[in-house]
Amino acid sequence: MDLPSTFDVIFPQALPSTYDNHTVRKLSSMKGQFADQQAYARLLDKEDVVLYEVYEFKRPQEAGELLYGISVVHPGKVGDEYYMTKGHFHAVRETAEVYYCLKGQGVMVMETPEGDWAVEELRPGKVLYVPPCWAHRSVNTGSQEDLVTFFVYPGHAGHDYGTIEQYGFRKLVIEVNGQLQIVDNPRWQAPGERP
């Protein structure tokens, strides 16, 4: 029998007091995902920096369960493009997700299989509902602080990284003269025009 459980979010870092899994994603695992390939190669040559980390709680991956944890995207840029997560659709497309921003500043980049897109701001206290079928990627647009979010999604959702790996998201989040800009991703193809 499961017993109720709790954990604390320890501020100011906004990290969990306990967790079951800790995933560390480094630059080398994001080959081809940043638009400026030369900037990517130069940075990787210097150091395989940690882009983001995920702390998760282990629960059965089945309907009725909730999977939850804390995601930490570090500050930085590859060329003009802010550090970000890989991003994914859920393997079971009709599953949603909720994010609650605990620290830092950033955005969630989202899109549907039909090519609709949305970008929503994340800042401490902000709750974001990602509806079923929307792919999602967290982007840290701050210059100093980690972007820390709490997330929760259905146990049977699964992850589909393939589509995003191949085409990226429709929109890129970059910095131009110190300002955040949302621009078209040249690698993206409309779903109807994909081979």
Task: Choose the one of ligand PA5, Ni ion, none that binds residue 134, judging by a C-beta under 5 to 8 angstroms depending on kind.
Answer: none
Q: How many CA atoms, within 13 angstroms, populate the side-chain half-sphere of residue 174? A: 14
Task: Choose the one of Ni ion, ligand PA5, none that binds residue 71, judging by a C-beta under 5 to 8 angstroms depending on kind.
Answer: ligand PA5
> Does residue 97 belong to the site contacting ligand PA5 (CB under 6 A)?
yes
Interface pick for Ni ion out of 53, 81, 97, 146 (rule CB under 5 A):
97
- Name the 3-class secondary structure at 153: strand
What distance lies between CA 172 and its chain's CA centroid? 13
User: Rounded to whole angstroms, how far apart are CA atoms 100 and 127?
Assistant: 4
Task: List the x/- string, 17-56, binding to ligand PA5 by CB under 6 A.
Answer: -------------------------------------x--
Q: Which residue has the tokens 């949302």?
A: 182
- As given in the structure block, the two tokens for residue 16 are 């969990």
What distance lies between CA 15 and its chain's CA centroid? 17
Positions that interact with ligand PA5 (CB under 6 A)? 54, 69, 71, 85-88, 97, 136, 138, 151, 153, 159
Positions that interact with Ni ion (CB under 5 A)? 97
